[in-house]
Structures are given as C-alpha cells and as structure tokens.
Amino acid sequence: MSFRSEFLDDALDAYIQAHSTGPDEVQRDLIEATAALGDASIMQISSAQGALMTMLTTLLEPRFAVEVGTFTGYSALAVAKALPPGGRLLCCDISEEWTAIAREHWKRAGVSDRIDLRIAPALDTLRSLPEEPAVDLAFIDADKASYIAYYEELVRRLSSRGVILVDNTLWDGHVADPGRTDTTTEQLRAFNAHVVADERMRVALLPVGDGLSMISRRRA
C-alpha cells in the first residue's frame, strides 16, 4: 500500500517512488501492518516523507528530537535510524494499541534504545521538559486543535539550529478553499496564519505528503 502525497496522481507518485530511496525491510513491514488497521492507516506518513525526515535528521544531527503524535511509529523510525551517536527521540502519544505496533518495529530495526515513548497527553509531556532550548528537531502530527499550543511549547525549547516539522498543513488542499469551513480546516488555517505571522521564525510550507511546514528560527 502506498501512502502517497495528496497532490500527486498515481503515475507521478510511482515515478517519484522509483527514483527515491525506498523504505527498508522493517519499514515495508510497518507499512503493511499499518494498512491492516483499515481506515486509520491514512494517518501514516508517506514513505517519501519518511525519506525526507531521515535525510533532515542526517543533516541536522539532532541530539534531542521530539515527536508529537506517533501512531504506529513510521515517522519515529525514520528519525531514529538517522540519529547521531547519543541522540535521543522523545515520542508523545496517548494510544497503547497503536504504539505497540511501533514498539515492535522499533525493536526489529534496532532503534528502541534511542526512543523514549511517553503515553500521556502531549502538552503535559512537553510542559514537563526543561525550559532551556535543547530541541534540535521536532515533528507535530497529532490533534489539530492543539497545533498552536504544541508549537509554542516547542518554540520556547528550540535550539538556535533547530527545525520544527508540522504535518497536514495543506489538508488535502482544503485550507485554500474558501468554501471549506469545517472545524479541522479552520484549525489548520489558524495554525498556518499563526506561524507565518510569528516574527521569531521562518516557515516554508511544502507540498509534501498532505502538506509539511518546515520552521526554524530567524537569525539576527
């Protein structure tokens, strides 16, 4: 099963997949295990987005990374496999069921010792972290109503070279359709407006997956 970008047709998606580094054996098995969940499987990121996250992790060499919303663990695996020696990934989720699938595949991939999974409301976990700016990489992919709150907690802890990635920020293109006024679309519009107006930060909203915002600090 392919979790392709919402903005690609099948032919172009197949071409991109054929000309990008593909998932490894454990990642392929995780894709299949997630597909077996049925409709919920749509929450898994695409393998192309995973490849991008692995590449960014390799380039950034984060000592401390944070993920808000882990689901079955594909994005966490993409990051953890590229962490530098001593690097850690903190995963925040509330589902024991879905993260059990994640734990199984992290173990198979040999990255379990790099990941701290906390089953608790993510805001509680983020607010329990030290205030000093130590987060080098973050990924937000959870309930849209809390995106701004997650973002603000992470920004105050973001290192000078840190990057925040935020998923679903195009929402199948609905954010640009004035006729769409459902709650989730409005929440994502509010988040996108909040970030672009934040004079502390720079943002690039990329048509990757269902929209991926890449955010970093402005330099004086």
Q: Is 3 a domain residue?
A: no
* CATH number (domain holding residue 120): 3.40.50.150
Identify whether the C-beta of residue 27 lies closer than 8 Å to the C-beta of residue 3. Answer: no
Secondary structure of residue 43 in the 3-state scheme: helix
Q: How confident is the model at residue 4 (pLDDT cuts 50, 70, 90)?
A: low
Of residues 12 and 196, more confidently modeled: 196
Decide if 210 is inside a domain.
yes
Residue 194 in domain: yes
Q: Which residue has the higher pLDDT, 143 or 47?
A: 143
Q: Is residue 46 part of a domain?
A: yes
pLDDT tens, 150-199?
999 999 999 999 999 999 999 999 999 999 999 999 999 999 999 999 99
Mean pLDDT of 99-122: 98
Instruction: Domain count for the chain, please give it.
Output: 1
Residue 64 confidence (pLDDT):
98
Q: Using one digit for the tens of pLDDT, what is the confidence trace for 35-70?
A: 999 999 999 998 889 999 999 999 999 999 999 999
The boundaries of the domain holding residue 53 are 10-217
Ramachandran region of residue 93, left (φ > 0), alpha (ψ -120 to 50) or beta? beta
In a domain, 1, yes or no: no
Q: Residue-wise over 117-146: b if at least 16 C-beta within 10 A, else e?
A: bbeeebeebbeebeeeeebbbbbbbbbbeb
145 falls within a domain: yes
